[in-house]
Amino acid sequence: MSEHSQVIEEYLLTLYKLDRSGEKAKAVTLANRLDTSPPTVHATIARMQRDGLVDVNKSKLLSLTKDGQKIAEDIAYRHNLSEFFLCNTLGIPWYEVHQHAHLLEHAMTPVVVEKLAEFLGKPEFCPHGTPMPGKALPQNTINLMETKQGMTVEIAMIGEVLEDSIDLMKILQEHHIMPGNQHTVVEKTDVMRTISLESDKGPTSLPFHVAEKIFVFEVSRNKTARKQQ
């Protein structure tokens, strides 16, 4: 696979992630997310328009075409599948598999993807809780900033924008802020702009801008009690 096509795939994947998170995308958004110069982004978008992968409206907002969406979903699936394989089969640390998957996703042929999915049992979520294309988080999922004091929640997904920072992901793992783990919301402090959590592993706190990118769902006290037994 050529370098050019890998670049296009990264653009498509980024647009796909932005759309899934409900964010609007312009050229400057891609430049910031991909750490690329605006002229380069505009040139790449022009090629993608020419190839029928993206549309640009009068407000300069970008959207995937039907063909672009199909390719983006395929890339997202390869990426999530790679993360699952690296983390759960090869034992690469949870906090760093995202970086390795970015390289592996471009090298996987359709046959490899199919066989790997079968080998892994066709997982529906990546290790960070991101649903595979066509799947979704539980309907009652909210972000941590929408929780209330005293609420016990289970981590459902770490927002994909947070995965780009290995240092941050390592901190989250050290404090057990990972899918499947439960925490109780202790308080939100506007002055310090932090949210405090408590789990059976101890206390932790997160800045608001991180908490709003972590998705959870409330669990009943009965379920919490059973999990702690």
pLDDT in tens, 75-105: 999 999 999 999 999 999 999 999 999 999 9
Q: Kindly state whether residues 146 and 210 are assigned to the same domain.
A: yes
Q: What is the CATH number of the domain that holds 204?
A: 2.30.30.90
Tokens of 165: 């920072």
Q: Kindly state whether residues 13 and 113 are assigned to the same domain.
A: yes
101, 133, 165 - which closes a domain:
133
Question: pLDDT confidence of 2, banded at 50, 70, 90?
Answer: very low
Q: Kindly state whether residues 100 and 186 are assigned to the same domain.
A: no
Mean pLDDT, the chain, whole residue set: 92
The number of folded domains in the chain is 2
Q: Kindly state whether residues 4 and 109 are assigned to the same domain.
A: yes
Q: Kindly state whether residues 79 and 54 are assigned to the same domain.
A: yes
Q: Is the pLDDT of residue 1 over 50?
A: no
Q: Kindly state whether residues 198 and 93 are assigned to the same domain.
A: no
Q: Kindly state whether residues 40 and 90 are assigned to the same domain.
A: yes
Q: Kindly state whether residues 121 and 62 are assigned to the same domain.
A: yes
Tokens of 15: 């647009």
pLDDT, average across residues 148-157:
97
Whole-number pLDDT of residue 40: 94
133, 163, 181 - which closes a domain:
133
Q: Is the pLDDT of residue 224 over 60?
A: no
Question: pLDDT confidence of 110, banded at 50, 70, 90?
Answer: very high
Q: Kindly state whether residues 165 and 120 are assigned to the same domain.
A: no
Domain limits at 161?
142-228
**Mean pLDDT lowest among 17-21, 47-51, 202-206:** 17-21
The percent of residues in the chain predicted with pLDDT above 70, rounded, is 94
Q: Is the pLDDT of residue 20 over 60?
A: yes
- The dihedral over CA atoms of 36, 40, 44, 50, expressed in degrees to the nearest 10, equals 160
Whole-number pLDDT of residue 227: 47
Whole-number pLDDT of residue 115: 97
Q: Kindly state whether residues 110 and 67 are assigned to the same domain.
A: yes
Q: Give the distance, in angstroms, between the CA of residue 218 and the centroid of all CA atoms in the same chain.
A: 20
Q: Kindly state whether residues 69 and 165 are assigned to the same domain.
A: no
The pTM of this model reads 0.88
Whole-number pLDDT of residue 223: 53
Whole-number pLDDT of residue 221: 59
Q: Kindly state whether residues 93 and 203 are assigned to the same domain.
A: no
pLDDT, average across residues 58-74:
95
Question: pLDDT confidence of 166, banded at 50, 70, 90?
Answer: very high
Q: What is the CATH number of the domain that holds 95?
A: 1.10.10.10
100, 133, 166 - which closes a domain:
133
